[in-house]
A and B are shown apart, each in its own frame.
Chain A
Amino acid sequence: MTVATSPATTAPARRADRRPPALGGFSTAVLAIEIRRLLRNRRTLMFTLVMPAVFFLLFGLPQRGDDLPNGRPVTAWIMISLAVYAAMVATTSAGAAVATERALGWSRQLRLTPLRPAAYVATKVATAMVLGLLGVLVEFAVGAAAGVRVPVHVWLLAGLAAWLGSLVFAAFGLFVGYLAPAENVMQFMGPILAILAMLGGLFVPLEMLPDVFREIARFTPVYGVGQLARAPLTGDGFDLGALANVAAWTAAFGLGAARLFRRDTARV
């Protein structure tokens, strides 16, 4: 290998060009690639978009014609519940992707680039929220196509609550992702999410569960999101307990993830 005789001449001049990237390396271009990655993953699409839609067709449609106490259709109640479920599976799996990336050594590779760890996490959260939104939209589209009719403000408010509430699970996914570097993290997360969804009243109304479960359920992380998302439909009004539930769990998972994240990315 030949080396130039005046090797030091170019480097300092070029250093003036060298600056760290804006926003710590966060960019919408990367976000777009991340989203394309998710959409290419058949497993993810299966569990976040297809399965909740199929659940609706299997368990929601047979109740067509039944009404809630306020006269609105039961199918809408089921559709909104499953939209929350779709969004929570979507955001959890997108957040938990950091587990795979840590297992593969990608996060180590990233430490050799100017990307700031916080920008990496911001990208993951944004990706999770895009997939979560997609989950809600697909569920609503299937519901609408199957004949669910509710006032516009119910569509909007319920959708918004289901989507924004799934931030809890983006944090949950990140928390799990930083807890265990495993390539197949969603394999054991799937059943956990199903249990949480059950306790959160997404599959069957909590009134149908034994009293003791109902009491416990109020403190589980899905309960709050479910209540808030269905409130526009049921007309139950603003539930402070549900809001407190969402806030508490977001804080708990968010702080937990932040703590593990700092341990993982401590610069030396």
Chain B
Amino acid sequence: MTHSAPAVELAGLTKTFGPVTAVDGLSLRIAPGEVVAFLGPNGAGKTTTVDMLLGLARPDAGTVRIFGGTPADAVRHGLVAAVMQTGGLLKDLTVAETVRMTAHFHARTRPVAEVLARAGIADIADRPVGRCSGGQQQRLRFALALLSDPDLMVLDEPTTGMDVEGRRDFWQAIRADARAGRTILFATHYLDEADAYADRIVLVRQGRVVADGTTAEIKNLAAGRVVRATLPGADQAALAALPGVRAVEVRGDGVLVRTDDSDAVARHLLTRTAARDVEITSRNLEDAFLALTTDSLTAETIGA
């Protein structure tokens, strides 16, 4: 383990379940201190990737390195901790007992009272786990993950099934804890979570990385508006030369212009060409997400 080892290094990770390829040659490098959202629709291979990252599943091909070592090594030394989606708690223990018990599995931990407070569950310390809400149980999992004060924290869809308030409380706890230098990787299919909490978004689809960039870069993919029109024999170059135009695409008789200045494009189309059925739509992160993660459209990849 050296100074320069990435927090996470996945290379050519592949996992198949029968005829289904869940993860398909996925590679990813995360530097220490990054807060990365692993964003994709259900079934994109996020959980399978997380399982392999943590050493809970064996890759069919490819390698996993955490701070330069194996996942098992990272777990044994308390370098990595994880908050999994569901399960993994004993209903008959109280919240505090669960944390105390888990603390004894490590050589050295943060004080139990401290992690309870940081996870925002100090007030329910004596409540049996079986009587805690889903959100409270998730914050308990977070408290357990905080015990070893890990350098890498992995969260697998941590807010699935929570109501809006539960999600907000959970992220508030995570935010409050954003210790300098801790690397965080969280899988999610909520765009707004990725947008609000990550510095970098890795978009996955069908077990592959389809886009990887800063939150701003990913949002840029979705910036501006799209002008559609029916225009046989459209002059692509002329359209591309208009101010604010980012991309021009011709599909049969149709033309599709992505632009920051939809007025200029519409004016051009209507006054200088024979275009008809002009239609202007705005794109948001949701569209970028859909565009990048839906089968029918071509994926675009921007450099990290």
Chain A residues close to B by CB (< 8 Å): 1-4, 6-12, 14-15, 17-22, 25, 27, 29-30, 33, 36-37, 40-41, 101, 104-106, 108-115, 267-268
Contact = CB atoms under 8 A, between A and B. Distances in A.
B54 A112 contact: yes
Contact of A11 (B32, B58, B90, B178): B32
Contact of B55 (A19, A104, A115, A268): A268
Contact of B107 (A15, A19, A41, A101): A19
A109 B105 contact: no
B81 to A, nearest CB: 7
Contact of B75 (A15, A17, A108, A114): A114
Nearest to B152: A11
A33 B100 contact: yes
B180 A3 contact: yes
B272 interface: no
Contact of B178 (A1, A17, A18, A110): A1
Contacts of A6: 181
Given A1-B198, A267-B55, A30 B89 contact: no
A21 B147 CA distance: 14
A114 B105 contact: yes
Interface in B226-261: none
B31 interface: yes
Given A18-B108, A30-B104, A267-B72, 10 more contacts: A3-B178, A6-B181, A9-B181, A15-B77, A18-B78, A19-B107, A109-B88, A111-B55, A112-B75, A113-B105
Contact of B105 (A8, A40, A115): A115
B67 A11 contact: yes
A41 B90 CA distance: 13
A3 B106 contact: no
B151 interface: yes
B102 interface: yes
B88 A105 contact: yes
Interface in B156-197: 174-175, 178, 180-181, 183-184, 197
Contact of A22 (B100, B107, B175): B107
21 contacts: A7-B31, A7-B181, A10-B181, A14-B149, A18-B79, A20-B76, A20-B77, A33-B97, A104-B88, A105-B84, A105-B88, A106-B88, A108-B87, A110-B105, A112-B81, A112-B84, A113-B106, A114-B106, A115-B105, A268-B57, A268-B58
B1 A12 contact: yes
Interface string B51-68: 000111110000000010
A98 B102 CA distance: 16
A61 B79 CA distance: 61
Interface string B192-210: 0000011100000000000
Given A15-B79, A18-B78, A109-B84, A114 B102 contact: no
A196 to B, nearest CB: 27
A142 B3 CA distance: 65
A22 B146 CA distance: 20
Nearest to A105: B87
Contacts of B149: 14
Contacts of B104: 21, 25, 27, 29-30
B101 interface: yes
Given A25-B105, A40-B92, A41-B92, A12 B3 contact: yes
A243 to B, nearest CB: 37
B33 A18 contact: no
B3 A8 contact: yes
Contacts of B86: 105
A112 B82 contact: yes
B276 interface: no
B91 interface: yes
B93 interface: yes
B221 interface: no
B75 A268 contact: no
B197 A1 contact: yes
Contacts of A12: 1, 3
Nearest to A100: B90
B35 interface: yes
Contact of B90 (A7, A15, A101, A114): A101
Contacts of A2: 178
A227 B58 CA distance: 48
A110 B104 CA distance: 12
A1 B199 CA distance: 8
B193 to A, nearest CB: 11
B175 A111 contact: no
Contacts of A111: 55-56, 75
Nearest to A34: B101
Residue from the set A18, A19, A41, A105 with the largest chain B CB neighbour count within 10 Å: A18
Interface in B80-138: 80-82, 84, 86-93, 97, 100-102, 104-108
